[in-house]
Amino acid sequence: MAKKKDYKNDFLHQRFDATETDYDQRGYHLEVVLDVNQVRKFAQTAYDLGFYIVFVAGLHVRPNEGHDKGNSGLVVVYQFARYDQLYRIKARVSVPNTLEIPSISDIYQGADWHERETRDLYGVVFDGHPNMKPLLLSEEDPDFHPLLKEEKKLKSLDEISWPSEAPEVVKGEAEAETGR
């Protein structure tokens, strides 16, 4: 690993909300919070910079009541990394109530299967995907999404974020849960 480059500024220049993170603690270097209409631009930027796609995954949290109305509680997480040096990026985007977010499968063809899997497990529909059919789960029951959590088990995004981002109060709440 001769050359080491920090890609934070490349993403900040494109006006993405990028924060550097502690690699030893989290296993990735950069966290990017995306808006729905930024997803494709972000993927294109990552592709132009030479990142490869690691995975696309879903996450089910309690929808925000207050300031962030109109999100469904579903979050899509993207991870990208590099072949030539150690640099991992995690990006997340909150899925709106329509459950539709733009597909990146024409930029990263590898996202095709990951997006179909996310549709299977969470019901997120990737707009512009050429073949949004069930992949892992059965075609007979396309509306069954096993990774959606029950209402009482849902936690808000703040509760499952690192303490530096979330207020301290949350910790006590989570502690009480461990009784079971």
Distance, CA of 135 to CA of 158 (rounded, Å): 31
Query: Which position among 6, 68, 97, 163 is part of the footprint of other proteins (CB under 8 A)?
Result: 163
Q: Per 3-state DSSP, what percentage of the chain is helix, strand, and coil (rounded to 5)?
A: 25, 25, 50
Rounded to a whole number of angstroms, the minimum distance from the CB of residue 24 to other proteins is: 8
Query: From residue 16 to residue 45, what is the string marking binding to other proteins with x (rule CB under 8 A)?
Result: --------xxxxx-----------------
Part of the chain binding other proteins (CB under 8 A), chosen from 10-18, 33-41, 73-81, 93-101 = 73-81
User: Which pair of tokens denotes residue 5?
Assistant: 């480059």
Q: Which two tokens stand for residue 48?
A: 């132009």
Should residue 99 be labelled a site residue for other proteins when binding is judged by CB under 8 A? Answer: no
- 57 lies in the binding site for other proteins (CB under 8 A): yes
First CA to last CA across the chain, in angstroms? 46
Calpha distance 96→124 (Å, rounded): 10
Closer by beta carbon to other proteins, 66 or else 146 = 146
The interface mask with other proteins, positions 119-148, x = CB under 8 A, is --x------------xxxxx-------xx-
# binding residues, other proteins (CB under 8 A) = 52
**35 closest CA partner among 83, 102, 127:** 102
| Contact status, residue 162 vs residue 171, Cβ threshold 8 Å | no
> Which range binds other proteins by CB under 8 A, 4-12, 32-40, 62-70, 104-112?
104-112
SS3 49: coil
Query: Tokens in use for 80?
Result: 């990208």
Which residue's CB is nearer to other proteins, number 38 or number 105?
105
> Which residues lie near other proteins (CB under 8 A)?
1, 24-28, 47, 50-55, 57, 59-60, 77, 79, 81, 83-86, 88, 90, 107-110, 112-113, 121, 134-138, 146-147, 155, 159-163, 166, 170-171, 174-175, 177-178
